[in-house]
Homo-oligomer: A and B are copies of this chain.
Amino acid sequence: MKKFEEKTIHTEEIYNGKIVQLQVDDVALPNGKSAKREIIKHAGAVAVIPITKDNKIVFVEQYRKPLEKSIIEIPAGKLEEGEKPEITAIRELEEETGYTAESLSFVTSFYTSPGFADELMYIYITDELEKLETPVKGDDDEFIEVLELSLEEAKKYVEEERIHDAKTNYAILYLHALGMK
A interface with B by C-beta (< 8 Å): 1-6, 14-15, 17-20, 22, 24-25, 27, 29-31, 33, 35-42, 45, 61-67, 69-71, 73, 76, 78, 108-119, 121, 140-141, 143-145, 158, 161-162, 164-170, 173-174, 176-177
Report how far A115 CA is from B1 CA in the complex, Å: 29
Among B40, B69, B162, B170, the residue within 8 A (CB) of A2 is B69
Q: How many copies does the complex hold?
A: 2
Chain B residues closer than 8 Å to A69, beta-carbon distance: 1-2
Q: A31 — nearest CB in chain B belongs to which residue?
A: B143
B164 touches A20 (CB 8 A): no
Q: A39-B66, A141-B29 are in contact. Are A110 and B19 (CB under 8 A)?
A: no
The closest CB in chain B to the CB of A144 belongs to: B4
Q: Which B residues are CB-close (under 8 A) to A108? A: 158, 169
A17, A38, A118 pick with most chain B CB within 10 angstroms: A38
